[in-house]
Amino acid sequence: MQTPLLVTDSVDGFHTWSAHEPWWTETVWFGAWIPEAATTVYFYNWFRPVLGIYGGGCLVWDRSAYLPWDIPVYRYEVNAPITAQVDLRDMRLPCGTWLRSVEPGLVYDMGYSAPGVELEMRFSGILPAEETSTKGTSEFFAGHIDQPGHYSGTLTLDGRRHRIDCHGIRDRSWGPRILGDDIRLGYCHGQSADFAFLAYSRPGGEREPVFKGYVMHEGRKADVSSGHRRVCYHGGELRWIEVELEDALGRRFEIRGRPINRFCYLPYANLVTWLFLMEWEGPTGVIYGEEQDAWSTALWRNRREIPA
């Protein structure tokens, strides 16, 4: 029996799934920052239509805490039942999430409301939404979009109002999400009005190979053709990341970043994810973005170093 999700097979809608794929997962994620307060704001929901459940919600953290039960906002549903029709183009969920597509594939309004937290913001893409390949990431999705843009809005915590005005990224994914015991993935990015980059990597060793990503510079976007990262941990804490990229246009870039907050949680069972708000120094100066460091729980238990 299929759940009442409105399928449009589009950037902004649910995609056709098979009743024989219980792990088919659709996600919608927007991530914004307030750099001067070292604060990250997550708007994230996932859906498993064959099982008839959804999860996610709103997360807010800063440098004061890094565990789910300590951060300022951890409103994260798990396995909530889908009981009414959901249209990603104009969505309201019982958990307090709402999302509206203002200009398909480009502009979105969204918000979250619960005791002690009110979020309202707009994402405006600075590049069109383009589907990326599943190279190296087939265990996570069959289709995926990474889109840089600008966020504006407000976050109110316990009556105190914070302004959101930053460049960031959003993503959409769909497909079977089967998380085994050998997941290890790095995902770092940064954005401004005139420069943005994204790099997928396989952590491990002194030089981590970058196997997918893009660079936007001087109005031109191109896929990453080669690259690597160097990641420095000391005393169990991330200290810095250096990224070297070459794109399909032959341009070369060196980017160095440092974390200004951190957070760790399990977005799904068997997936430990460390999230860092990063201050990057690139060809156009200081920009902000993230480092996402994902581990299967089996690999995390057997780690020899990296965060503790």
198-170-231 Cα angle (round to 5): 35
Mean pLDDT of the chain: 94
Question: Which stretch of 6-15, 40-49, 98-107, 140-149 has the lowest confidence by average pLDDT?
Answer: 140-149
Predicted confidence (pLDDT) per residue in 254-292, tens digit? 999 999 999 999 999 999 999 999 999 999 999 999 999
Task: Give the confidence band of 2 by pLDDT, cuts at 50, 70, 90.
Answer: low
Which band of pLDDT confidence, cut at 50, 70 and 90, is reported for residue 134? confident
User: In the chain, which ranges are continuous DSSP H helix?
Assistant: 297-301
pLDDT single digits (tens) 115-130: 999 999 999 999 999 8
CA distances (Å), origin 197, targets 86, 137, 152, 246: 32, 18, 20, 11
Q: How far apart are the first and last CA of the chain?
A: 43
Structure tokens at 157: 């915590």
* Distance set, CA 89 to CA 27, 44, 106 (Å): 13, 15, 12
Confidence bin at 139 (pLDDT 50/70/90)? confident
Residue 205: the pLDDT is 81
Cβ-contact 218, 194 below 8 angstroms: yes
Per-residue pLDDT for 12 more than 80? yes
Q: What is the pLDDT of residue 308?
A: 43
DSSP at 5: B
Question: Hey, what are 69's tokens?
Answer: 């039960």
> Could you read off the pLDDT of 67-91 as tens digits, one per residue?
999 999 999 999 999 999 999 999 9
What dihedral do alpha carbons 119, 290, 249, 208 form, nearest 10°?
Answer: -150
The whole-angstrom separation of Cα 223 and Cα 120 is 32
Q: Is the pLDDT of residue 136 over 80?
A: no
